[in-house]
Amino acid sequence: MGTNKRKLDLSNSFFWQSNSTTLATLGVLIVLMVILTIMQPTFLSVKNLINIVLQASVVSMLAIGMTFIIISGGINLAVGSTMALCVVVAGDMVVNKGANFIVAFGLCILIGIISGFFEGVLISKLNIPPFIVTLGTMSLWRGIALEYVHGEAIYGLPDGLTWLGSYKIGTGNFQIPVAVLCVILLFFIAWFVLSKTRFGMHVYAVGGNEHATNLSGVSVSKTKIAIYTLAGFMCSIAAIITLGRMNGAIATVGEGYELDAIASVAIGGASMSGGKGKMWGTFIGAMILQVIRNGMNFLQVSPYYQKMVIGLVIIVAVGIDCVRRSKKE
């Protein structure tokens, strides 16, 4: 009886600790929005708030997959390149090869899944560090994308291929982009998978103690392959949204997006050493990044200073996690 009570206490402690981090991150977001509203009253308009979520939609899709990866103790530097490869292949299939948008969507998703599966196999079966594998595939996928279109841009995409990124629902001044609804829906699904399913429990277990997880009967290698495959799938969804927003395809799209995705997860309270993180924390982290960018654009801050500020925010977020872990130890 005493043992069960002890386990319950530990579970409750972890619950409150994890959710308090998410609430603290939400508090930071609210404070930022209040400050920016005081400095620029039009910042808090419905149109601008929807625009913030829309601008963060692509990175948010990548950040969903990155959340699973970082919680499992891994990293993925290739998400931007994977997305670019999906973008150019889908765009080329429709514009230059005459395929319909269903075939293009299917091929786009297939490429994302195969690339993630390939990375997962290298990491789990050959025990190559995730940093090295994804650093290599970041260059590999980008090179294939550039060679595939010979560095040229593709324009003139049909409506069937761009609706997810460009269409809106509503009337008058209150129109919600389909991409925004897609982001919110996928975050709900990802939250459910991570928090309410056996697979989600395995993700946390692998990140918390890989050796103990393996001894408990959970296949660590299969879990890692599934995690990276899921991340590849999210890259393909991000690619479809990007096609709609750009109304075109270019092989250089997504450069630097992997850093924004990692930053969103870190700012959201996930531990870079694995075993800890919340899906809604990642969503808030992505919104914080975009609110900062949007606010600085309102205030006409130089893009160079914006990069400095984002860099400092990332350092502070990871630094807080490191201090928290050192205190526990």
**Residues 90-149: tens digit of each pLDDT:** 999 999 888 888 899 999 999 999 999 999 999 999 999 999 999 999 999 999 999 999
Domain of 191 in residue numbering reads as 46-255
Q: What does the chain come to in residues?
A: 329
Note whether residue 267 is domain-resident: no
Contact 110, 229 (CB under 8 A): no
Please enumerate in sequence order all residues whose Cβ is within 8 A of that of 6, keeping only pairs 6 or more positions apart, or say none. none
Cα-Cα-Cα-Cα dihedral sign, residues 214, 216, 219, 223: negative
Instruction: Return the DSSP state at 274.
Output: S
**Token pair 């990124």 is at which residue?**
165
pLDDT class of 4 with cuts at 50, 70, 90:
very low
Q: What is the mean pLDDT of the chain?
A: 88
At 10-24, the pLDDT tens digits run 344 333 345 777 888
Given this model, what pLDDT does residue 244 score? 87
CA–CA separation, 294 and 49 (whole Å): 10
> What pTM did the predictor assign?
0.90
Pull the structure tokens for residue 320.
């807080």
CA-based R_g, the chain, Å: 20
Note whether residue 142 is domain-resident: yes
Note whether residue 77 is domain-resident: yes
Q: What is the total count of domains within the chain?
A: 1
Residue of higher predicted confidence among 170 and 88: 88
Note whether residue 69 is domain-resident: yes
Q: Is the pLDDT at 325 greater than 60, yes or no?
A: yes
CA–CA separation, 266 and 249 (whole Å): 30
Note whether residue 248 is domain-resident: yes
Note whether residue 9 is domain-resident: no
Note whether residue 312 is domain-resident: no
Residue of higher predicted confidence among 329 and 185: 185
pLDDT class of 231 with cuts at 50, 70, 90:
very high
Note whether residue 171 is domain-resident: yes
